[in-house]
Amino acid sequence: MDISAFIQSYFIDPVWERTGYNAVNTVVYAAIALGALYLIWRFFEKKNISIDRAFWAGAMGFVLWGSSLRVLTDSVDAGTMAKTLGLAQAGLGGWFGGLAQAAYPLLLSSHLLDYGPLTVTPGIYVMTAALFLLCIGRGWAFKRPYLAAGVGLAGGALNLLLLLPMMKHWDYAAIPIALSLLAGALFYYGLKWKDRKHLLPVMGQALDGAATWVAIDFFGPASGQNYFEQHVLSRAIGEGTPLGFGLFFLLKIGFAALAVWAIRKEDLDVRLKNLVLLVIAIIGFAPGLRDLLRMLCGT
């Protein structure tokens, strides 16, 4: 197999065929992400940029923006947005039918949200990270530390507004939210982890695990949606045991708790500690929010 065929088979085809990740692209993407993370940390260290509350707020804002934007693409690709528009035009759109009639024709005709390299992983993650770092840099240069948070939250709020006419499965979506909050409460009151930097990684991983569990094991069969886990290891855990993705949920919480505990104990640079904790939170909240919103909208 030559290089072009290798890239086509392991990197391009899985995107267009919607088959998820494989062992090869998982390793390559992980290596690239780790390399990028190292370079970012060294740059922040050189420029003396702190991973402080404003930085966390900006990162969480862009997680919301990126995840909700991805679900808008899911809704276009699955036909959910077009179906919702049809119901609204027939007078069956409910409270937010007017919003659907105003916004959805433009979104569908523009093709900006069509399934493509920049609207699905890994492209959307790269684009989101680049925009976040650009806003962080501008905020740092102009002494506006919460610029990234404002931009990310505004974009995320707009995306949620556009998703609102499609939101209907609140009963299933409430379960992952409750489990994430419960996990946070257990560590807050049980282990006395009062710092948000220690709670958010656990809550993010809990949300991801719970949303995957509920979507695949409960919502999918009940709604007829064909949900599946895209990541190789996660899929093996969920499909290889009688506990299903409930085991995946528990392991996600255990992984996050162990990682946070180890980071708290290690004598490392504070900036590096905060960056690692933030990354653990992001890789939980980003897919968790996407799965939650997909389930809520039925895409």
Give phi and psi for 243, each to the nearest 5. -75, -10
Domain count, the chain: 3
Q: Does 297 lie in the same domain as 221?
A: yes
Whether 94 and 7 share a structural domain:
no
Are residue 32 and residue 79 in the same domain, yes or no?
A: no
- The per-residue b/e assignment along 187-220, b for 16 or more CB within 10 angstroms, e otherwise, is bbeeeebeeebbbbbbbbbbbbbbbbbbbbbbbb
Which residues have CB under 8 Å from 206's CB, separation 6+? 179, 180, 182, 183, 184, 249, 252, 253, 256, 284
Alpha helices in 48-119 (DSSP H): 53-78, 80-89, 97-110
Considering the domain architecture, whether residues 30 and 56 belong to the same structural domain is answered as: no
**Same-domain check for residues 144 and 161:** yes
**Final residue of a domain: which of 102, 133, 166?**
166
58 and 113 in a single domain? The answer is: yes
In tens, the pLDDT along 86-115 reads 999 998 777 788 999 999 999 999 999 999
Answer yes or no: do 196 and 257 share one domain: yes
Both 73 and 199 in one domain: the answer is: no
Same domain, 57 and 153: yes
pTM above 0.85, yes or no: yes
Q: What is the pLDDT of residue 107?
A: 97
Domain end (from 166, 191, 220): 166
Looking at 140, 166, 192, which one is the last position of a domain?
Answer: 166
* Domain with 211 in it: 169-299
Task: Mark whether 11 and 58 lie in a shared domain.
Answer: no
pLDDT tens per residue, range 157-195: 999 999 999 999 999 999 999 999 999 999 999 888 888
Does residue 186 sit in the same domain as residue 232? yes
* pLDDT beneath 50, residues of the chain: none
Q: What length does the chain have? A: 299
135 and 219 in a single domain? The answer is: no
